[in-house]
């Protein structure tokens, strides 16, 4: 992998990740852009104890542009985009309309390929490995920013999810706090450790799932399963078998196997509802240990946390979505219409080719 860092016309950082070491990236952003002005602010809810990002400047962000005006495609002639070069393998840049900025963190866009009509599942194993290396590199770099406590790499896929740009891409949020989901896991981790004389909760969950009926696919270094208490109709958790706290902790064997396993999983997701259905909308979310202090979680260290990816769709059956209505949105109590065992069985049945 070759990494080349440059700046866009408004001062935002852009980084090319290339498969070839001899690739030259010297294209200049020719757009007449003024420096980005953001109004991002993090406010803490005194009743719930969580944080909310107020980012009113995002109302003016790009919304469903036609394909020939896509800002994530490479620049061609006088059609100038967020990527100055005429081609790329993978690229990361600071979001022009960030939810978090400055002392409130940072938001980046990750473009997986220059092919506008592709999806992540269309990538080659070599391309997926490059994206994995880019996620890892950005996790490392962002963790050193003084305002950053947790790094979250994710992909939103599909209009049903709310995606406003059709080009295959994901995002990275660098939060100035430990997110509520992660805090819940850490509290459960601490309680389990105390109640079991030091046993690790993630290890116990993984051991139980490996012995059960909800495993979807398994490699030498990775395992994917539908969790016992799945929140979503089709939800899969992908774990490395050797517990590590973040992407940086993966060894070479796990990195080498990941592309094959993840592509298989994504391709099965696209076949859940049959060939005649549109591509399955999904969210793919990496859960990593926070980089900040964990004094609020007594007895727990970063190394106790287990890196994992959660992949889920909001489609519950053909032509029908799972809406977060009264119980889910009002009380945060999920009601799942499909048993995790049935979901796992369906995901085992579907072929990826």
Q: How far is CA 195 from CA 199, 217, 303, in A?
A: 8, 31, 19
**How far apart are alpha carbons 12 and 107 in whole angstroms?**
11
Q: Hey, which residues does 177 pair with through a beta bridge? A: none
The residues that bridge with 259 in the sheet, in sequence order, are none
In the structure encoding, which two tokens stand for residue 169, read together? Answer: 């891409």
The set of residues, in sequence order, having a beta carbon less than 8 Å from that of 244 and lying 6+ positions away, is 250, 306, 307
Residue 113's contacts (CB-CB under 8 Å, 6 or more residues apart) are 89, 90, 122, 123, 127, 168
Catalytic entry in 64, 167, 169, 231: 169
Contact 74, 88 (CB under 8 A): yes
User: Is 169 one of the annotated active-site residues of the chain?
Assistant: yes
Q: What is the CA radius of gyration of the chain?
A: 20
C-alpha to C-alpha distances, 48 to 43, 325, 327, 340, nearest whole angstrom? 12, 19, 17, 29
Q: 201-210 and 180-195 are packed helices; what angle lies between their axes, rounded to 10 degrees?
A: 90
CA distances from 102 to 105, 127, 149 (A): 6, 31, 13
Are 294 and 177 contacting, i.e. CB atoms less than 8 angstroms apart? no
Write out the catalytic residue numbers. Answer: 169
């Amino acid at each position: 992998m070759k990494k080349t860092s440059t700046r866009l016309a408004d001062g935002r950082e852009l980084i090319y990740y290339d498969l070839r070491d001899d690739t030259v990236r010297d294209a200049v952003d020719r757009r007449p852009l003024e420096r980005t002005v953001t109004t991002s602010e993090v406010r803490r809810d005194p009743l719930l104890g969580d944080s909310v990002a107020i980012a009113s400047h995002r109302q003016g962000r790009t919304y469903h542009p036609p394909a020939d005006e896509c800002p994530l495609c490479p620049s061609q002639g006088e059609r100038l985009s967020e990527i100055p070069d005429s081609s790329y393998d993978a690229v990361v840049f600071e979001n022009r309309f960030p939810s978090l900025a400055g002392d409130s963190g940072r938001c980046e866009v990750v473009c997986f390929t220059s092919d506008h009509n592709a999806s992540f599942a269309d990538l080659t194993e070599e391309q997926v490995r490059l994206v994995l290396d880019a996620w890892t590199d950005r996790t490392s770099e962002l963790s050193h920013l003084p305002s950053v406590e947790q790094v979250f790499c994710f992909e939103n896929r599909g209009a049903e999810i709310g995606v406003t740009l059709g080009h295959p891409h994901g995002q990275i949020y660098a939060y100035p706090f430990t997110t509520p989901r992660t805090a819940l896991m850490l509290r459960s981790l601490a309680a389990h450790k105390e109640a079991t004389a030091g046993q690790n909760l993630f290890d116990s969950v993984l051991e139980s799932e490996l012995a059960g009926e909800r495993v979807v696919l398994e490699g030498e270094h990775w395992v994917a399963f539908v969790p016992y208490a799945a929140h979503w109709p089709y939800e899969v958790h992908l774990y490395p078998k050797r517990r590590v706290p973040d992407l940086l902790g993966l060894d070479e064997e796990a990195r080498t196997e990941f592309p094959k396993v993840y592509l298989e999983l994504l391709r099965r997701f696209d076949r859940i509802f049959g060939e005649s259905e549109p591509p399955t909308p999904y969210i793919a979310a990496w859960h990593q240990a926070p980089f900040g202090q964990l004094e609020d979680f007594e007895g727990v260290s970063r190394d106790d946390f287990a890196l994992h990816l959660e992949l889920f769709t909001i489609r519950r059956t053909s032509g029908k979505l799972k809406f977060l209505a009264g119980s889910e949105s009002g009380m945060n109590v999920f009601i799942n219409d499909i048993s995790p065992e049935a979901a796992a069985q369906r995901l085992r049945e579907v072929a990826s080719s």
